[in-house]
Each structure stands twice: as C-alpha cells, then as structure tokens.
C-alpha cells in the first residue's frame, strides 16, 4: 500500500504541518473541516501546498520523518520549488 507525504499551511510562508496518510482526499477533508482537534485545527491549516506519493507507506513515513527534521528554510524551499505561488494544489492532484 502506498502513502502520501503532504504539507498544509494557513497562508504563504505561514505555519506549516507535515503529515503522512494513505488516503489524501480524506485527510485533507479532515483538515479543512476541523474534525480532528489539535494543531492543524487550532491554526486553521487548510491549504495543501505540497504532496508526494510513495509506492510504499513505509517509505512515505520515513520521508515524513526526514522532512519534519529539516529546518524551516529547507521546507520552504521544498514547497517553492514546485509551488512558488503557494497555491492550494489539492484540486490539481490526479488522485
């Protein structure tokens, strides 16, 4: 089973959350609806700005851990490399 590593934010250069899931549409819906209390609902992190699919969920989990260990600058560079305008990319994804 594969998995997604993703980053959501509340605005360009705002608060970032790095997560992993096997069901990206469901997880983004949960973030947007605030159905899970915690960090993402508190800071209203609804905008998907980065997503990458991995064929193996274990690889996705490791990638998430690696990204979480990066500096904020490296995370910003990762987002801006493929999404320089910080657009919500959820609707563009081929899922």
Q: Which domains does the chain have, with CATH numbers?
A: 3-92 (3.40.1440.10)
Q: Alpha-carbon distance 80 to 26, whole Å?
A: 25
3-state secondary structure of 18: strand
pLDDT in tens, the chain (95 residues): 899 999 999 999 999 999 999 999 999 999 999 998 899 999 999 999 999 999 999 999 999 999 999 999 999 999 999 999 999 999 888 77
CB 30 within 8 A of CB 36: yes
Q: What pLDDT score does 86 carry?
A: 97
CB 34 within 8 A of CB 41: yes
């Amino acid at each position: 089973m594969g998995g997604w590593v993703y980053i959501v934010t509340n605005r360009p250069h705002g608060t970032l959350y790095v997560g992993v899931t096997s069901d990206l549409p469901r997880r983004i819906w949960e973030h947007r609806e605030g159905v899970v209390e915690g960090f993402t609902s508190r800071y209203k992190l609804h905008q998907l700005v980065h997503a990458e699919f991995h064929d193996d969920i274990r690889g996705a989990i490791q990638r998430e851990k690696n990204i979480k260990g990066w500096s904020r600058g490296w995370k910003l560079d990762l987002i801006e490399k493929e999404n320089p305008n910080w657009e919500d990319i959820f609707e563009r994804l081929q899922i």
